[in-house]
Structures are given as structure tokens and as C-alpha cells.
Amino acid sequence: MCTALIDTGCCIKDPFGSSQVVVLNEKKFKDIENYILPSEVSKRSRVIPVDTVGETSLLYGLRCDKAVLKLGNVRYVFERIIAVASNKGLSSGIDVIVSYDSIDRLSDGKSDGYVTE
């Protein structure tokens, strides 16, 4: 279970495919990393370029088969999503940042995954 922030200003994208990208705090990212078999890590590894105010950087990520975001009674199920580790840390109490565009694209059927109630 994670506490998510849906960020309207987050525009992080996978430049090499159409996968949605979420940003995790270091602890949650390590949890995912430890879950993946060592033989699978190289196949799932991704590097995502990120532009923020004042800097450009690369974030290390892993392709995940599925991630579920629950808002009230609605479940947003992302398939083939990329989880990246934040290099700056996230605000206190926040485990993951999801872009509003990711939610919107999933709701409109323009992204891998589905929405259920």
C-alpha cells in the first residue's frame, strides 16, 4: 500500500515507448527491486531522462507488469508501467507520484491498462 500524489505538473514519459512512468520514493522502489528476480533485472531496467526546474537528470527505473492505483471505489490498473526511483526524495508521507496525464490517458483508453469500479 502506498500514498500517491497525482501531479498535474508531472510530465515524465518513457522516451522509447508508450509506457507510463511513476516516480517512487527510495524505500518503495527498493521493495519493487527486491521483488524482481536477479536474472530479470537487466531485462526490466530503464533509464528515463527528466527535466525539472533548473536541472536535467536521468532516473533509474524498472519495467513492471502491473500497478494498481485505487481512488475511492475506482481502480486504475496500469500495465507495462515503468517505476523510477526519485533522486531527490519525495515530500513527507508521499510514496509515489503519478502524473494526471497518466490517469487521464488510462481513463480514455489511450494507455496500457484499464479502469474498474
Q: Per-residue DSSP letters for 39-105?
A: HHHHHHEEEEEEEETTEEEEEEEEEEEEEEEEETTEEEEEEEEEEEE-SS---TT--EEEEHHHHHH
- pLDDT digit string, tens, across residues 12-71: 888 888 788 999 988 899 988 898 888 999 999 999 998 888 888 899 999 999 988 888
Can you tell me the distance from the alpha carbon of 72 to that of 64, in angstroms, rounded to the nearest whole number? 24
Check whether 88 has a pLDDT greater than 80. no
Which single residue is written with the C-alpha cell 524482481?
A: 36
| Domains of the chain, CATH where assigned | 4-116 (2.40.70)
Which single residue is written with the C-alpha cell 501531479?
A: 7
pLDDT score recorded for residue 21: 92
pLDDT score recorded for residue 84: 93
pLDDT score recorded for residue 61: 94
Can you tell me the distance from the alpha carbon of 86 to that of 61, in angstroms, rounded to the nearest whole number? 9
Check whether 75 has a pLDDT greater than 90. no
Check whether 117 has a pLDDT greater than 80. no
